[in-house]
Amino acid sequence: MHPLRVQMQRDMKLRGLALRTQETYIAAVAALAKHYRRSPDGLSVEQVHQYVLHMLDERKLSWSSCNQAICAFRFFYGITLKRGVFALEIPHGRAPQRQPEILSRAEVMRVLDAARRLPDRVLLKTTYAAGLRLSEVIALRWSDIDSERMSLRIEQGKGAQDRYTVLSSGLLAELRTYWKLCRPLGPWMFPGRDPGKPICDSSVQRLYTRTKQKAGITKRGGIHALRHAFATHLLEAGIDLHMIQRFMGHRSLSTTQRYLHLTQSHLKDKAGALDLLWSG
């Protein structure tokens, strides 16, 4: 392994960057080096600027994807190579602010019903009913289930934060059925082809896209739409905003508050609100 890569990984680990962030940053710097066919520590600031333009103009990448790469370059040149001025000259782009297209409860059920294989259906249900990010659902282990407290442990979520999220009785029953019928090997709740590793994120995204198309859903968005639906539907069920913030793992309440204007209505009866996620 190249010494620069080793040093960058060490720097990221020391600063507590999440594993997925580390992988993203390494991939971005590797792509930069591949583009110029030379070590990235020998590139000029102008060459890095030109590469960012290449990503935007020729590869047609979104501003959010480019911003991820820019953050990686800032870290590599500013922290690993200690060229702070070099890194600061790279501007951030402003991504268009688009509101997510929220799936209704009926549409979520159509997506779940369209997943014919039990493991696929349970994976999608877990993502929705616990409000998980893609990286969080694929990292779930059977040991993360706490049926006594009716909660799921999310280890090292976004921002390298551990947290607990809700485990509804409906989801617990689904997980128990999945375990009894499929008996997944290894510690992972959703293993990949190699039982020693979890399912990869690209496989899960393809699963969601395929299932959504089969269900006839045309709304934009990948599997993260299930997380958006979770938050919105709980608000409509009258669940407290602060509680939803904890379930979602948001550092700031303002992040959770953006779902307020996406709700359609508030239910008067809050009893059994969590299990409303499962009612037809």
- Provide mean pLDDT across the span 227-252: 87
Contact 149, 265 (CB under 8 A): no
Secondary structure element (H or E) that encloses residue 163, with its range: strand 163-166
- Catalytic, 54? Answer no
Question: Angle at Cα 254 formed by Cα 248 and Cα 256, nearest 5°?
Answer: 30
- Catalytic, 117? Answer no
- Banded pLDDT at 92 (limits 50, 70, 90): low
Q: Is residue 96 part of a domain?
A: no
* Greater model confidence, 258 or 52: 52
Instruction: Give the pLDDT confidence score for residue 227 in this predicted structure.
Output: 92
Residue of 74, 133, 212, 228 marked active site? 133
Residue of 224, 233, 266, 268 marked active site? 224
Average pLDDT, the chain: 85
- Catalytic, 133? Answer yes
DSSP 92: P
Q: 126 and 260: one domain?
A: yes
Q: Per residue in 109-122, pLDDT tens?
A: 999 999 999 999 99
- Banded pLDDT at 127 (limits 50, 70, 90): very high
Q: Is residue 216 part of a domain?
A: yes
Q: 25 and 132: one domain?
A: no
DSSP 138: H
- Catalytic, 2? Answer no
Phi and psi angles of residue 166, each rounded to the nearest 5 degrees, phi first = -70, 145
Q: Is residue 168 part of a domain?
A: yes
Residue of 110, 141, 158, 246 marked active site? 158
Q: Is residue 94 part of a domain?
A: no
CATH of the domain at 30: 1.10.150.130
CATH of the domain at 147: 1.10.443.10
* Greater model confidence, 18 or 131: 131
Residue of 105, 121, 163, 227 marked active site? 227
Q: 194 and 115: one domain?
A: yes
The predicted model scores a pTM of 0.68
Lookup: tokens for 258: 């953006």
Q: Which domain holds residue 46?
A: 3-88
- Catalytic, 15? Answer no
- Banded pLDDT at 2 (limits 50, 70, 90): confident
Q: Is residue 99 part of a domain?
A: no
Dist CA 163 CA 249 (whole Å): 7
Contact 228, 132 (CB under 8 A): no
Total count of domains within the chain: 2
Q: 43 and 149: one domain?
A: no
Residue of 77, 128, 208, 259 marked active site? 259
- Catalytic, 59? Answer no
Radius of gyration of the chain (CA): 21
Residue 274 pLDDT greater than 60, yes or no? no
- Banded pLDDT at 1 (limits 50, 70, 90): low
Residues 6+ apart with CB under 8 A from 73: 28, 29, 32, 48, 87, 90
